[in-house]
Amino acid sequence: MSKRKVKDDHMPVGECITQVQEVFRERFCCQKLPEQPEGVESQHKHLLELLKRTAVHGESNSVLIVGPRGAGKTMLLKCVLRDLLEEKEVQKNLLQVHLNGLLQTDDRIALKEITRQLNLENVVGDKVFGSFAETLGFLLEALKKGDRSSSRPVLFVLDEFDLFAHHKNQTLLYNLFDVSQSAQAPIAVVGVTCRLDVLELLEKRVKSRFSHRQIHLLSSLTFPQYAERVRTQLSLPDDFPDDKFAQDWNASVKNLCEDKSVEEVLQRHFNSSKDYRMMHMLLMLCLSRVSVAKPNIKPADVLEASKMCFTDAKANMLHGLSILELCLVIAMKHLNDVYEGEPFNLQMVHNEFKKFLHRKSSSMYNFEQPVIMKAFEHLQQLELIRPVDSSSAKTQREYQLMRLMLDHSQIMEALQKYPQCPTDVKQWAMSAFG
């Protein structure tokens, strides 16, 4: 492709589409780092300087990056590391250890992982670590031996930092912070977490040793910025092989973003969450509708994609129920209305259903008790209803108390869309009294 880049301005459309999808997939799915993180310049500078001091001056530090999910914490850290490693002095010296609270679920695993990543396990022949205690002693000794000016600095990145605080005695955190506060090998501990109350999780000794530096990532994004970001995210880069196609594409994207209906959809997404990942999901769905026959994104695509993003999972599940099961759900809804959310059992639901049959059933007729039972169990399997108490063994199944896990709006929405729903069932559902 690179050969063509220079002279070949016009590629076949199919080729262009492949290229487009490649570019955007990398952007949306592979978490490609932006050139410059947006909106977090001060945090970027703070973190970069902090880590640089560790790498260059051998000053130990500890810091927490806190922010809601999808706020760009990891992106910030990765950007900082990328910028940091551009410096030769840093690149030669800095050792990195990356841990994740979801992977290293206890200190023993974490310590093993640290020794592995520091390449310490091979320092003394092929010494195999026996016990947890030995590994800890080994590692502490290794860190203790170093000093500020001569040892290589080590960067510890603890992803999902809050989970490390749940380890027994917080041994790992105590020791890391203790090293960072004593004249041993220089280390920087960077914790990444989405919990705002993370400091309260730390034990008082651990807390005292933590430097209390916190970098908060809270996006104060406004809607115009959000829309602008959508536009830049959908735009093709300047170095796209086919200039003509790129220009057309970018123009169409600009038009798209100015479209009223698209703006409305984006506003709705923005209102729901400022999470970049959610936005990428939406854009990815739009992108997947682009084909050779339709080489740009239309407002209708955005609407469709948005609808897919916002579909209600439970309501969708109702579409697959049989009429009998649907009738049972409606009966439950009426019971909920009557008894103000009190739990019900199979018998009550069956009675309610029979009442409906007596009054105005033209399309429905009564079923045997076992059939009702089977339908009821199916609903339980789908987790549309759940037993009140988990100890179900004691009571008979017909009398076990249940709760409906659906909201009224979900039921009504499902009924609207249910294919060939009998009218009397629909009316029954909408009537105020059973």
Which range, of 97-105, 126-134, 285-293, 421-429, touches other proteins by CB under 8 A? 126-134
Phi first, then psi, for residue 11 (nearest 5°) are -110, 160
Contacts of 410 (CB under 8 A, 6+ apart): 312, 314, 315, 318
Supply φ then ψ for residue 208, to 5 degrees: -60, -30
Question: Least distance (Å) from other proteins to the CB of residue 123?
Answer: 5
| Cβ 425 vs Cβ 327: under 8 Å | yes
- 149 lines the binding site for other proteins (CB under 8 A): yes
Centre a 10 Å sphere on the Cβ of residue 75 and count the other Cβ atoms it contains.
Answer: 19
In angstroms, rounded to a whole number, what is the distance separating the alpha carbons of residues 151 and 185? 6
Q: Does 392 bind other proteins (CB under 8 A)?
A: no
Shortest CB 73 distance to other proteins, Å = 12
Q: How big is the site for other proteins, counted in residues (CB under 8 A)? A: 92
Among 140, 281, 324, 373, binds other proteins (CB under 8 A): 140
Q: Does 403 bind other proteins (CB under 8 A)?
A: yes
Residue 56-75 contact track with other proteins, rule CB under 8 A, x = bound:
xxxxx-----x-xx------
Q: Which CB atom, from 149 or from 423, has the smaller least distance to other proteins?
A: 149
In angstroms, give the least distance from the CB of 358 to other proteins.
31
* Dihedral-angle region of residue 222 (phi above 0 means left; psi in -120 to 50 means alpha; beta otherwise): beta
Instruction: Report the alpha-carbon distance of residue 192 to residue 232 in Å, rounded.
Output: 28
Say which amino acid occupies 387.
P
Between CA 355 and CA 362 the distance in angstroms is 13
378: number of CA atoms within 13 Å, CB side?
17
Out of 132, 228, 380, 426, which residue is the one contacting other proteins (CB under 8 A)? 132
User: Using CB under 8 A, which of 2, 311, 420, 423 touches other proteins?
Assistant: 311
Contact residue for other proteins among 2, 220, 381, 423 (CB under 8 A): 220
- Per CB under 8 A, the segment of 12-20, 148-156, 296-304, 349-357 that binds other proteins is 148-156
* Burial of 403: CB neighbours in 10 Å, binned 0-12, 13-18, 19+: middle
> What does the alpha-carbon distance between residue 161 and residue 191 come to, in Å, rounded to a whole number?
5
Told to check if 391 binds other proteins by CB under 8 A, we report no
Rounded to whole angstroms, the Cα distance separating 329 from 152 reads 66
- The only residue of 24, 28, 245, 270 in contact with other proteins, by rule CB under 8 A: 270
Q: Please report whether residue 184 would count as binding other proteins according to CB under 8 A.
A: yes
Q: Smallest distance, Å, CB 353 to other proteins?
A: 23
Q: For residue 371, state whether it binds other proteins (rule: CB under 8 A).
A: no
Instruction: State which of residues 197, 238, 239, 340 lies at the interface with other proteins (CB under 8 A).
Output: 197
283-300: burial string, b at 16+ Cβ within 10 Å, e else: bebbbeebeeeebebbbe
Q: Does 417 bind other proteins (CB under 8 A)?
A: no
Which one of the spans 75-83, 177-185, 283-291, 322-330 is the region binding other proteins (CB under 8 A)?
Answer: 177-185
Question: Is 151 a binder of other proteins (CB under 8 A)?
Answer: yes
Cβ at position 327, least distance to other proteins in Å: 21
Contact with other proteins (CB under 8 A): which of 21, 74, 93, 105? 93
Is residue 83 at the binding interface for other proteins, with CB under 8 A as the rule? no
Residue showing tokens 């063509």: 4
Asked if residue 196 binds other proteins (CB under 8 A), the reply is yes
Among 4, 5, 10, 127, binds other proteins (CB under 8 A): 127
Distance CA 349, CA 376 (A): 9
407 binds other proteins (CB under 8 A): yes
At closest approach, how far in Å is the CB of 273 from other proteins? Answer: 5
* Positions in 1-20 near other proteins (CB under 8 A): none
Is-contact 84 94, C-beta < 8 A? yes
CB 185 within 8 A of CB 220: no
- Do the strands 95-100 and 154-159 form a parallel or antiparallel pair, or are they unpaired? parallel
272 binds other proteins (CB under 8 A): yes
Dihedral of the CA atoms 292, 298, 303, 304 (nearest 10)? Answer: -10
Rounded-to-integer distance, Cα 277 and Cα 70, Å: 6
CB of 208 to other proteins, least distance (A): 3
Candidates 4, 5, 10, 212: give the one binding other proteins (CB under 8 A).
Answer: 212
